[in-house]
């Protein structure tokens, strides 16, 4: 099918064909698109909804990709960008500063917990993670512990795709094709409580970090990098006391705790920062995505005074940076975005409504394929199973049939954008814009119930 449209010069174009021929979509099986299998083309957004090139409306149950937290169509953010562009289009923050970067760094420092006062801007999440891993190594080196170069992350966690960040990412299929990666990445179990044997101590997975540090040798470990709620695998929440135990372990062995909040910051869990939800104090936070509600790319690494201190004295510096980091237009948008968060109390809105969201998802447990419902705030997942009683999962072939062969298409067809994923066991993930409430939850329910019921029947045959 072709999608004829007029481009900005008024010439009629076929976006479908041009997309198939020229656009290299990320993480996409480009060969799967053809004359009869359209590439979804999203043309505009408004609030919790987006529209495709046929004018069909979809509930954006994923906020783009966990990032349009303030919702679509906020002209105020576009206006902030335009005003800034007219005043100062660009200047670099290498040896210079400009007002918006200074104001935004100050604002972020005022919101970040404890002594997280030093903001190092990046262009996105992977760069923020890359920066944090390099800073951790460099911090130890500056203090005379240059051997501390390894980092510990969790199995199935996603921390980005650049070779350094990828060494922290714990998804085998994403890693193995690009090896050798940057050296130093070690992995420990995640907090998939649904699949833990019942006799496990609640914080055994935190203790596993200590065991790994001892195995590697504490003098070789620079940092532990963890998400407050792990995305890949399907919204793994930490058990009570997990992060407190991790903090103790990090302090004991002089290892930095990096909280990767590329998804979990900016209201996703009902707080500006995810670590606030679980009451722990990291040494570094990595952030991106909803810092600007994704109206423009921007990321940030937020470091504690302790970690930044060695780089602030005499002739020393952190020899690392990106041309576009702290871009004035992105910084202006981020400031306007945070203003919306404060004015509309989006974090409070999430805390007040997350119970209803969760209840709606829990109400689907009577469908045989629904194994687990988990998450926090507006970041929730349903794990799909073959057998609710035994928790038996689907094999690779069945997962393929279930997720890509049926669910992704069926949910989209019915006007719901969410994520059907199998980087661990098969899950469907939801991360709606923070402006959503009961009306959207009901809409999500009305799509999920028939689709999951059909999936359940299909997988039994």
Closer to ligand PLP by Cβ: residue 233 or 371: 233
Nearer Cβ to ligand PLP, position 321 or 371?
321
Asked whether position 383 contacts ligand PLP by CB under 6 A, the answer is no
Rounded Cα gap, residues 111 and 109, in angstroms? 5
Stretch that binds ligand PLP, among 92-100, 121-129, 362-370, 413-421 (CB under 6 A): 121-129
Is the CB of residue 80 less than 8 Å from the CB of residue 241?
Answer: no
Q: What is the C-alpha to C-alpha distance for residues 184 and 161, in angstroms, rounded to an integer? A: 15
Least distance from ligand PLP to the Cβ atom of residue 32, Å: 22
| Cβ-contact 48, 42 below 8 angstroms | no
260 binds ligand PLP (CB under 6 A): yes
Element (H, E) at 11: none
Task: Choose which of 93, 263, 296, 455 interacts with ligand PLP (CB under 6 A).
Answer: 263
421 sits near ligand PLP (criterion: CB under 6 A): no
Say whether 51 sits in a helix, a strand or coil: strand
Strands 57-60 and 416-417, bridge-based pairing = parallel
Q: Does 159 bind ligand PLP (CB under 6 A)?
A: yes
- State phi, psi for 427 to the nearest 5 degrees: -140, 160
Report the alpha-carbon angle 334-335-336, nearest 5: 90
Q: Which is nearer to ligand PLP, 27 or 96 (CB)?
A: 27
The answer to whether residue 433 forms part of the interface with ligand PLP (CB under 6 A) is no
**Binding residue for ligand PLP, selected from 131, 231, 380, 399, defined by CB under 6 A:** 231
Tell me if 262 contacts ligand PLP by CB under 6 A. yes
227 binds ligand PLP (CB under 6 A): yes
Which two tokens mark 246?
A: 């991790």
Examine residue 425 and tell whether it contacts ligand PLP (CB under 6 A): no
Q: 159: closest CA among 56, 262, 10, 59?
A: 262
Applying CB under 6 A, the span of 51-59, 142-150, 260-268, 425-433 interacting with ligand PLP comes to: 260-268
129 binds ligand PLP (CB under 6 A): yes
Pick from 210, 161, 203: which is nearest to 186 by CA?
A: 210
> Judged by CB, which is closer to ligand PLP: 282, or 368?
282
DSSP state of 184: T
Using the rule CB under 6 A, which residue among 158, 236, 322, 357 binds ligand PLP?
158
Between 113 and 126, CB nearer to ligand PLP = 126
Tokens found for residue 299: 């990321």
Q: Quick one: how far is CA 162 from the chain centroid?
A: 15
**Residue 371 in the binding site for ligand PLP (CB under 6 A):** no
What mask, x for binding ligand PLP by CB under 6 A, covers residues 280 to 319? --------x-------------------------------
Q: For the CB of residue 155, give the shortest distance to ligand PLP in the complex, in Å.
A: 14
Q: Does 419 bind ligand PLP (CB under 6 A)?
A: no
- For ligand PLP, which residue has the nearest CB? 125
The closest alpha carbon to 427, from 365, 367, 385, 379, belongs to 385
> Mask of contacts with ligand PLP, 236-255, x by CB under 6 A?
--------------------
Q: Which residues pair with 122 in a beta bridge?
A: 299
* Gyration radius of the chain's alpha carbons: 22
Helices 438-460, 346-362: axis angle to 10 degrees equals 30
Q: Is residue 274 at the binding interface for ligand PLP, with CB under 6 A as the rule? A: no
Nearest to 135 by CA among 153, 119, 111: 119
Write out the residues near ligand PLP by the rule CB under 6 A: 124-126, 129, 158-160, 227, 231, 260, 262-263, 288
């Amino acid at each position: 099918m072709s999608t004829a449209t007029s481009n900005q010069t008024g010439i009629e174009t076929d976006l479908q064909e041009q997309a198939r021929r020229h656009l290299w979509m990320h993480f996409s099986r480009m060969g799967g698109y053809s004359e009869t299998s359209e590439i979804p083309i999203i043309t505009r957004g408004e609030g919790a909804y987006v529209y495709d090139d046929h004018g069909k409306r979809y509930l954006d149950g994923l906020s783009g990709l966990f990032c349009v937290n303030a919702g679509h169509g906020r002209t105020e953010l576009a206006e902030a960008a335009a005003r800034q562009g007219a005043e100062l289009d660009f200047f670099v923050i290498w040896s210079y500063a400009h007002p918006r970067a200074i104001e935004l760094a100050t604002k972020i420092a005022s919101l970040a917990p404890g002594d997280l006062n030093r903001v190092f801007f990046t262009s996105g999440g992977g760069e923020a993670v890359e920066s944090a891993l390099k800073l951790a190594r460099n911090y130890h080196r500056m203090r005379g512990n240059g051997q501390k170069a390894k980092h510990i992350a969790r199995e199935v966690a996603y921390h980005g795709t650049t070779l350094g960040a990828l060494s922290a990412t714990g998804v085998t299929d994403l890693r193995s094709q690009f090896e050798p990666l940057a050296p130093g990445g070690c992995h420990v179990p995640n907090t998939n409580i649904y699949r833990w044997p019942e006799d496990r101590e609640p914080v055994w997975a935190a203790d596993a970090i200590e065991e790994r540090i001892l195995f590697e040798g504490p003098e070789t470990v620079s940092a532990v990098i963890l998400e407050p709620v792990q995305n890949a695998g399907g919204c793994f929440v930490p058990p009570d006391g997990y992060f407190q135990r991790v903090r103790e372990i990090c302090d004991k062995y002089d290892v930095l705790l990096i909280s990767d909040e590329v998804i979990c910051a900016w209201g996703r869990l009902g707080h500006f920062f995810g670590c606030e939800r679980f009451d722990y104090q990291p040494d570094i936070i990595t952030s991106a995505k909803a810092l600007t509600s994704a109206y423009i790319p921007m990321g940030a690494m937020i470091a504690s005074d302790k970690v930044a201190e060695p780089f602030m004295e005499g002739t020393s510096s952190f020899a690392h940076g990106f041309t576009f980091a702290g871009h004035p237009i992105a910084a202006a948008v981020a400031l306007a975005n945070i203003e919306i968060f404060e004015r509309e109390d989006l974090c409070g809105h999430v805390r007040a409504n997350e119970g209803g969201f969760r209840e709606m998802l829990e109400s689907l447990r009577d469908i045989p394929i629904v194994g687990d419902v988990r998450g926090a705030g507006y970041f929730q997942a349903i794990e799909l199973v073959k057998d609710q009683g035994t928790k038996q999962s689907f094999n690779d072939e069945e997962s393929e049939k279930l997720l890509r062969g049926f669910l992704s298409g069926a949910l989209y067809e019915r006007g719901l954008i969410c994520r059907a994923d199998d980087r661990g066991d098969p899950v469907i993930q939801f991360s709606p814009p923070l402006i959503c409430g009961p009306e959207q939850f009901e809409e999500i329910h009305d799509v999920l119930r028939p689709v999951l019921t059909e999936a359940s029947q299909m997988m039994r045959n």
